Structure 1
Amino acid sequence: MRVFGTILIFCCLSGSLWAQTDIPNSRKLRIEANPDKGVTPSTSTSLGLSSPSILGKTPDLNLSDDLYKRPVQMQPETELKQAGHNLVLKPNLSEGQRGKSEHFGDMYLGDVKTASSFIGIVCRDHEYVDGDRVRIYANGIVVEPNVLLTGAFKGINVELDQGFNRLEFEALNQGSSGPNTAQVDVYNENGKLMFSNKWLLSTGSKASLIVVKEAE
Structure 2
Amino acid sequence: MNDKGVPESGGRDRAEVVAERALVGQATGMLMAVVPCSTDTARRLLAVSAQAAGASLVDAAHAALRLCTGDGPLYDPVADALADAIDRLLEADPPEDPVGCASSVQGLGEYVNHYLAARRRALAAPGDATARSFLDDAGYALCVLTGHPATHTALPAAERLSKAGRRATLAAPNFSAPQPRARMTAARGTPRR
**TM-score range relative to shorter protein:** under 0.3
Greater helix content:
2
When Rg is computed on C-alpha atoms for both structures, the one with the higher figure is 1
TM-score, normalised by the number of residues in structure 1: 0.23
Greater strand content:
1
